[in-house]
Amino acid sequence: MRQPLRLVIADDYPLFLEGLHLLLEQQDEVHIVGEAHNGTELLEKVASCKPDVVITDIQMPQMDGVTATRIIRSRFPDTKVIALTMFNEEHLIVDMIEAGAGGYLLKSTSKGELLKAVQSVADGYNYFCNHTSIRLSKLIAQSRSPLLHPSEPLFTEKEIDIIRLICEQHVSKQIADLTSLTHRTVEKYRDRIMNKTGSKNVVGIVIYAIKNGIYRV
């Protein structure tokens, strides 16, 4: 039986934090090991509690969620981060993704979606709610990803197929089923594509693909 995922939750509104704690502690899949009311306290809790996943607001006193996420992902790479916020502005979504967050949810999300996001991010996948995905699609074309015109094809046909499936939010296991490749082979393709595009994660691949006309939204 799988052990419950260890969570640290952070929000500067005590009432919301208490409600989130009460909601999650009733779930067998997760275990709350720490709470924080600002970014500085969040870093301290992560260092002492070693959680699997952090759920954090973005705008907090002393240190915001973006800065805290960037530091957490640098110092504690095994700890995944999910943004849970009322803000759906494009620049905040991009900032959190670039800082290393694996998930982005609005506070209007359901308990089921929150638990699904926690599980997905803990397993190494990205998770974005529908509202965030729509915003992300609109801003990608205006991102800082370079527009390149190589003299020779940069990608093989198989790599192009996998890039498009990534853009459609398929995870590696799904891509393996759709392409009749092994999961391990898909992971190798993904790493190769990330190297070619200079991406740090699959979001970077999506941004590159749309900027360079490989995938259209």
Q: Where along the chain do its domains lie?
A: 5-139, 157-211
What three-state secondary structure class fits 103? Answer: strand
Task: Kindly give, in sequence order, each residue whose CB lies less than 8 Å from that of residue 115, ignoring residues fewer than 6 positions away.
Answer: 27, 29, 30
Which CATH architecture fits 157-211?
Answer: Orthogonal Bundle (1.10)
Is-contact 95 66, C-beta < 8 A?
yes
Class of domain 5-139: alpha beta
pLDDT by residue for the chain (217 residues), tens only, comes to 678 999 999 999 999 999 999 999 999 999 999 999 999 999 999 999 999 999 999 999 999 999 999 999 889 988 999 999 887 777 788 788 878 888 889 998 899 999 999 998 998 887 888 777 656 655 554 555 555 555 456 899 999 999 998 887 677 888 999 999 999 999 999 999 999 888 877 777 887 887 778 887 5
The one-letter amino acid at 124: G
Is-contact 186 168, C-beta < 8 A?
no
Question: Which pTM was predicted?
Answer: 0.69
Report how far residue 76's alpha carbon sits from residue 190's, in angstroms, rounded to the nearest whole number.
23
